[in-house]
Chains A and B, each alone.
Chain A
Amino acid sequence: MTTGVGAPKQAPTVHRGPALGPVFAAEYKLLLRSVCTKGRLIAIGLLAALSVLTAVAVALSNPFDPLSEGVGFVNGNIATLIPVAVLVFGAAVIGDLIDDGSLVYLWLRPVPTWVHVLAAWAATVTIVVPLVLVPVVAATAIIDTAPELIGAAALGGLVAVAGYAGIFVMLGIRFRRALPWGLVYILIWEGFVASAGKTATKLALRSYVRSILGTMTDTHLKLGEFSLAAGIIVPLLVAAAALLYASRRLAKTDVA
């Protein structure tokens, strides 16, 4: 056996179990680096840029009601751009590892699966907030600088990112082809089925986030009639439930 410069000659000492704080931090950094491919960053970055251009176009339109136009702009982004961006990263963050077989290097460690799932959720939120949410909030300010609108865009967007990230990380673990399943959820379920009536609305994350927007700007939005507290708490609970399910699912999954 050869020994390199600076290499210890003794076998490593192993703790009884890994410290979860450093493990979480290491996994978070790893997943963040892994999921940030050039293609994804460019595609979603371009969509965010398109959103800013749209805001400029809205701001230049005439006749012009800034608050109403601003609420409509944020509402549109919460319904499409934010969930799509979260889907692209959230479904891939662990889904990619399952697809290429490298999940074994996380799974076969003395680490509970909820740590992997939580790190994946945190990585997804970390990417989408600066890449999409910040441009959307900035674009909203181009339309109207009213503090209640900016605050609603930031809070609603943040809750949407957190909620959708939970759902789409779970989809990435549950389904081999999570992207089409996620699009079905966004376009068919949230966009069509959930707008069918008040009961169906309760099953769409979008309705809760819309309620944040409506309540904070004192604007009436169709199918957004929950309280501010419900608008914040329900998406976070949904995310938590989705992550819990994802952890259990990951613990029972067949690893290549």
Chain B
Amino acid sequence: MSAATEVPMIEADHASKWFGDVVAVSDVSFRIGPGVTALLGPNGAGKSTLLRMLCGLTPPDRGSVRILGADPRKDISVRARIGIVPQQEAMFEALTAFEFVRLAGLLHGVEDPAGAARWALDLVELDHADHRSTTTYSKGMKQRVKVAQALVNDPSIVVLDEPLTGLDPRQRGHLIELFGRLGEQGRCVIVSSHVLDEVERFGSRVLVVAQGRLAATGDFRAIRDLMDDRPHRIRVRTDRLREVATELISSPGVLAVRLEEPTGNRAGAVIVDTTDAPLFRRSVAAAAQRADATLLEVSPLDDDLDSVFRYLVGR
């Protein structure tokens, strides 16, 4: 990441973490600087563990992590410059949103914790005069309270673990815009997500994590192209199996075809491996026409995010 190498605000150097026999994070190295960086990966990929290591909440078993040049596990003063939105929903149940955020400000040494709490709640469009306990809040409101407490100390490093969970589309848009603005102001914002389209909206640099490993890093568009360039598997269900398969095998970009025989009332299908899914989709109708066949279904078999990550890891 070229922009990141100049001013590494967060640095992981061959960091690994395991729990018993399970390797949660494996030999991850990267340096990131100001701006928004998305941590993309499927559930269970090790994103939360990696974020926890970056904040010092859990130590790496091997390697090291540095925040602003310090070890966040040992140097408690650097924690004043970190804001975190953890994944878990639990907050201090007895408190209102204002009390919760004000407490965060006080513990961070903010000069006017009450004023800062009003400012932070305002950023996430929550009412600081609301006297209800946060236990009565919806999941989306709780997420926004968590974001407010993460920003109350005006942090240089903002770590957000799936911060958009439970938010309605308008609030998602608002927070994505807020995170972008924080990045533009020179803060290092790292946001985890397992939703590809969500990460696309951050319009940011991306770290792709799968099975605890750093599978890819770079600009989102480059990662997206890489994902689009991988071999795709597509099912073509038709009434004239062999004729269509013969036509498809000679189509550009097709690597292999396999037949799926009809069962009961269900028509058979041709399973196609192709390097160029868009081109294949454009040519499949013509191939069916040449075979005088009817197309009953054309559907991707591996477009889910997990298979994308598996491909990136296996490269």
User: Roughly how many angstroms separate A4 CA and B119 CA in the complex, as a whole number?
Assistant: 8
Given A8-B118, A14-B154, A34-B94, check contact A108 B110 (CB 8 Å): no
Chain B contacts of A104 at CB under 8 A? 57, 84, 86, 88
Q: Is B43 part of the binding interface, using a Cβ–Cβ cutoff of 8 Å?
A: no
A101 touches B153 (CB 8 A): no
Given A6-B118, A17-B77, check contact A12 B111 (CB 8 Å): yes
Question: What 1/0 flags go to B107-142 for Cβ under 8 Å of A?
Answer: 111111001101111110101100000000000000
Residue among B82, B103, B115 making CB contact with A26, cutoff 8 Å: B103
B110 touches A7 (CB 8 A): no
* Residues of A in contact with B, size category: 35 or more
Chain B contacts of A3 at CB under 8 A? 122
Identify the stretch in A109-117, A137-145, A155-163 within 8 Å (CB) of chain B at 4 or more residues: A109-117
Q: Is A42 part of the binding interface, using a Cβ–Cβ cutoff of 8 Å?
A: no
User: Roughly how many angstroms separate A104 CA and B181 CA in the complex, as a whole number?
Assistant: 26
A107 touches B109 (CB 8 A): no
Question: What 1/0 flags go to B150-172 for Cβ under 8 Å of A?
Answer: 00111000000000000000000
User: Roughly how many angstroms separate A13 CA and B154 CA in the complex, as a whole number?
Assistant: 8
Question: Using a Cβ–Cβ cut-off of 8 Å, how many residues does chain B contribute to the interface with A?
Answer: 49
Residue among A7, A27, A101, A112 making CB contact with B122, cutoff 8 Å: A7
User: Roughly how many angstroms separate A112 CA and B107 CA in the complex, as a whole number?
Assistant: 11
Given A102-B91, A109-B79, A110-B80, check contact A18 B108 (CB 8 Å): yes
User: Roughly how many angstroms separate A9 CA and B116 CA in the complex, as a whole number?
Assistant: 9
Chain B contacts of A15 at CB under 8 A? 109-111
Residue among A2, A9, A106, A256 making CB contact with B125, cutoff 8 Å: A2
Chain A contacts of B259 at CB under 8 A? none
Q: Is B106 part of the binding interface, using a Cβ–Cβ cutoff of 8 Å?
A: yes
A110 touches B79 (CB 8 A): yes
Q: Is B242 part of the binding interface, using a Cβ–Cβ cutoff of 8 Å?
A: no
Residue of A nearest to B79 (CB): A110
Chain A contacts of B88 at CB under 8 A? 100-102, 104, 256
Q: Which residues 217-242 in A have Cβ within 8 Å of B in the complex?
A: none
A12 touches B57 (CB 8 A): no
Question: What 1/0 flags go to A6-36 for Cβ under 8 Å of B?
Answer: 1111111111111100110011001001100
A12 touches B55 (CB 8 A): no
The smallest beta-carbon distance between B149 and chain A, in angstroms, is: 7
Residue among A4, A106, A256 making CB contact with B127, cutoff 8 Å: A4
Residue of A nearest to B56 (CB): A108
Residue of A nearest to B146 (CB): A105
Residue among A9, A12, A33, A111 making CB contact with B110, cutoff 8 Å: A12
Chain B contacts of A27 at CB under 8 A? 107
Residue among A7, A26, A111, A255 making CB contact with B57, cutoff 8 Å: A255
User: Roughly how many angstroms separate A188 CA and B313 CA in the complex, as a whole number?
Assistant: 53
Q: Is B104 part of the binding interface, using a Cβ–Cβ cutoff of 8 Å?
A: yes
Chain B contacts of A33 at CB under 8 A? 94-95
Chain B contacts of A105 at CB under 8 A? 91-92, 100, 103-104, 149
Chain A contacts of B84 at CB under 8 A? 104, 108
Residue among A8, A19, A34 making CB contact with B115, cutoff 8 Å: A8
Given A108-B79, A111-B76, A256-B86, check contact A8 B56 (CB 8 Å): no
B91 touches A255 (CB 8 A): no
A106 touches B105 (CB 8 A): no
Residue of A nearest to B94 (CB): A33
User: Roughly how many angstroms separate A17 CA and B77 CA in the complex, as a whole number?
Assistant: 7
Chain A contacts of B91 at CB under 8 A? 102, 105
User: Roughly how many angstroms separate A104 CA and B59 CA in the complex, as a whole number?
Assistant: 14
Q: List 10 A-B contacts (CB under 8 A).
A: A2-B125, A7-B118, A7-B121, A11-B154, A12-B110, A12-B115, A100-B90, A102-B88, A104-B86, A106-B107
- Please provide the 7 A-B residue pairs with the shortest distance between their CB atoms, ordered closest to farther: A12-B116, A18-B109, A101-B88, A15-B109, A109-B107, A100-B90, A110-B80
Given contacts A1-B122, A104-B86, A254-B59, list 10 more A-B pairs with CB under 8 A.
Answer: A2-B122, A12-B120, A13-B112, A14-B110, A18-B80, A27-B107, A102-B88, A108-B56, A109-B108, A254-B58
